[in-house]
Amino acid sequence: MRFFIPAVFCALLAVFPIASDAVEVKFTPIYENIELERPVSLIVPPDGSNRRFLVEQTGKIKILPTDESANEAEVFLDTTKLIGVEKDFEEGLLGLAFHPKYKDNGKFYLTMSRQGPKRLVVSEFSVSKDNANAGDPASERVLMEIQQPEWNHNSGNLFFHPKDGMLYICVGDGGMKNGVFMLAQKLTRRNGKVLRIDVDSKSQGRAYGIPADNPFVDEENACPEIWALGLRNPWGAWVDEKTGLFYLADVGQDLYEEINIMESGGNYGWEHREGFHEFAARNALMAALGRKPGPPEGAVFIDPIHEYSRGDGLSITGGFVYRGKNKALDGHYLYGDWRLGNIWALHYDAEKKEVTANHQLYKPEDPRNPLVQPTGFYPDENGEAIVLGWKGEAFRIEAK
């Protein structure tokens, strides 16, 4: 969802068998009879209901029916009048997370774009008291507003950590090219960061609590919400409950896309690095602005665990670590490229701290017309993989 190109979408068969180098899967379309408009997220709440909540960037959250051939989906919440969009390509409704105690308190959290001034908003909502399948739009409690200089690089992924119960919020660097606003490395700004807050408490002057063990709480002038920094446009956050590893894909600019393992206080290099490499355009920009080209004093950058170049794509869509029935995919982080439609399964060995496999699950015959331009990879209520597509598709990834 980061680089737009016109494309003609071909007619699709009922099942798409796909060969890979070591893992063979098929992509089976689901919900073909329901109109899905730019789906970006599919979340199953922690309430035992096994309902699938689909987030559409255009503003609606739908509850998908159990019957994947059904004709209708119930609208849980319509935020089209709550969001503000200047350019709908990257702005809109961007993320959904259910409170870990959603079954008891009915609270859920959204990230969305608003204008005047342009900003990314993190808000708390509640389910309707009279209808478990309806969110209450009047219940909004704004937690945080983050200035966005431009319309792109919002990110907006958010989730509750399965171990510490804190809300993690991924924020892009503010937009434009070359990191011209120079926000990702600044601890005085929330852009280009992963933020971490406690929604069940309130710190002085805030609608939320600051966890005492956040890495920069004692640093003068730093935003205490910051948990990690140096990101461009993170998209695809996932904590693997089995290993505890926090995976996060980050969209590159000129040459490389990357996947990171996130650590508290970690600096992932943007806007001085892209993937494993020095970001060449940075030095020229700094020279033009009359500024020093090097990184901040004392900065230590953490390498990604994986990158790919422009030969494989232009905009990474991160996903999740698969733990379903397909043993060949167990422990693999599913991800793809939005522009070219390539899809992979990456295995990272936590003990060796290295990638041990990167299977290509799908490669389009014609990169101008891929099967799907992935906007997200998500597990259903049984842990089985669903990939969402920019043009309104949803597919199951299944053993062939």
β-strand partners of 349: 354
Give the helix, strand, coil percentages of the chain, each rounded to 5: 5, 40, 55
- Secondary structure (3-state) at 352: coil
Confidence of residue 294 (pLDDT cuts 50, 70, 90): confident
Q: What is the pTM of this model?
A: 0.93
**275 contacts: CB under 8 Å, gap ≥ 6:** 252, 255, 256, 257, 258, 304, 307
pLDDT digits (tens, 9 = 90+) for 55-75: 999 999 999 999 999 999 999
- Rounded Cα–Cα distance for residues 231 and 243 (Å): 23
What pLDDT, on the 0 to 100 scale, is given for residue 21? Answer: 55
- Interacting residues of 200 by C-beta distance below 8 A, sequence separation 6+: 165, 209
Nearest to 57 by CA among 9, 134, 2: 2
- Asked if the model's pLDDT at residue 9 lies above 70, the reply is no
Kindly report the average pLDDT of the chain as a whole number.
Answer: 93
For residue 24, give both structure tokens. Answer: 């063979």
Given this model, what pLDDT does residue 349 score? Answer: 97
Cis amide bond preceding 86, omega within 30:
no
At residue 202, what is the residue type? K
3-state secondary structure of 160: strand
Q: Give the pLDDT band of residue 285 (cuts 50, 70, 90).
A: confident
What local confidence, expressed as pLDDT, does residue 10 receive?
A: 35
Max distance between CA atoms of the chain, in angstroms, equals: 61
Strands 273-274 and 93-98: unpaired
Domains of the chain: 16-399 (2.120.10.30)
**Enclosing H/E stretch for 385:** strand 385-389
Instruction: Provide CB contacts within 8 A for 220, sequence distance 6+.
Output: none
Residues 348, 11: contact at Cβ < 8 Å?
no
Three-state SS string over 15-49 comes to CEEECCCCCCEEEEECCCCCCCCCEEEEECCCCCC
Give the pLDDT confidence of 144-194 residue by residue, as tens digits: 999 999 999 999 999 999 999 999 999 999 999 899 899 999 999 999 999
Let me know the angle formed at the C-alpha of 317 by 252 and 237, rounded to the nearest 5 degrees: 95
Q: Is 131 exposed, middle or buried (0-12, 13-18, 19+ CB in 10 A)?
A: exposed
